[in-house]
Amino acid sequence: MSEERAFLRHTVATLAYRGGKATRGADDAFAHHKASPTSRTPIQILCHIGDLLDWALSIAQGQQKYVEATPASWEGEVQRFHKALQTFDAYLASDAPLGVSAQQLFQGPIADALTHVGQIAFLRRIAGEPIKGENYFVAKIETGRTGADQAPGVREFE
């Protein structure tokens, strides 16, 4: 496996860790919280992240296709998020060719998804459901670990 592909897989695991932390334990009311009249709700943002991950897989497979889904339940979108990460990571772990460079996959859908995970984390604080901050430098992020079962925080703070 190339260094670029290995790094992209670690980035996907980082997205799983941070996204899992941002979504875990949120109540159903949070899913529909609006920070402003024109902002997306957390469930809309999470659904968009799922769309981005599906798009990333299609790009990697050389068939670039973006489909905008309709949000399901909060828990359904959390499950979709992790399933899409697992499917994308499995493709990256395989010997199948990438339709574009790893750098392009990162700069497009993956970087966008990381941005949106940050939005969800910020919205948790605005909605009165903050997550603990963390020193992500020491987090136990493992390449290939993309499901909802993530390691606990090593150095969290309020």
**Over the chain, what is the mean pLDDT?**
96
The confidence score (pLDDT) of residue 158 equals 76
pLDDT at 105: 97
Structural domains of the chain ordered from first start? 3-157 (1.20.120.450)
CA proximity to 22, closest of 94, 149, 107, 124: 124
Tokens standing for residue 56: 């990333």
Q: pLDDT at position 157, please?
A: 87
Q: Could you please report the per-residue DSSP string of 16-28?
A: HHHHHHHHTT--H
Percent with pLDDT over 70 in the chain: 100
Average pLDDT (82-87) is 98
pLDDT at 94: 97
pLDDT digits (tens, 9 = 90+) for 23-79: 999 988 999 999 999 999 999 999 999 999 999 999 999 999 999 999 989 999 999
The pLDDT of residue 99:
95
pLDDT at 21: 96
Token pair for 30: 């949070």
Q: Flag whether pLDDT at 132 surpasses 80.
A: yes
Residues near 138 by beta carbon (within 8 Å), at least 6 away in sequence: 154, 155
The residue-averaged pLDDT of 81-95 equals 98
